Amino acid sequence: MRLGNFSLPAALFLTACVALGMATSLWVAQRIWQEANNVRINSYALSILNHAETVAQSLTQALIMLNDTDSPTCSADDLNRLKQAVFEQPFVRDAGRIKDGKITCTALWGGIPNALRAKGQGTNN
């Protein structure tokens, strides 16, 4: 049997070559798409990691600054140091002192006459 100018085996061979070419093209396109997504995901993960490191470094600097003081707890100098830490560190929203499980002062509130129990401290959470 002949199909136009082609014999049946030649037509089948041509069809098989076209199908193989299409399958190969789809496979290559899929691999390129996967690699592009891997690059995008790795870039995003690196961005998140860099941000987490920046936050951790900021918090560490604030803690070092707040622990390096000779001022009495919640004195005017201590409150100024708390305010300075909050002002200088972009990821610190407030800083305070805790004594015996109670918040005694913070940079934003100042001295707290009736100390508040720190969340997670004691038995009444």
| DSSP type of residue 72 | P
For the chain, how far is it from start to end, CA to CA, in angstroms? Answer: 88
Alpha helices in the chain (DSSP H): 8-67, 76-88
> pTM for this structure?
0.60
Distance CA 118, CA 49 (A): 30
Q: Which pLDDT value is given to residue 16?
A: 92
Instruction: Give the tens place of pLDDT for each residue, 87-107.
Output: 988 888 899 898 888 888 999
pLDDT tier for residue 124 given thresholds of 50, 70 and 90: very low
Q: Which pLDDT value is given to residue 8?
A: 80
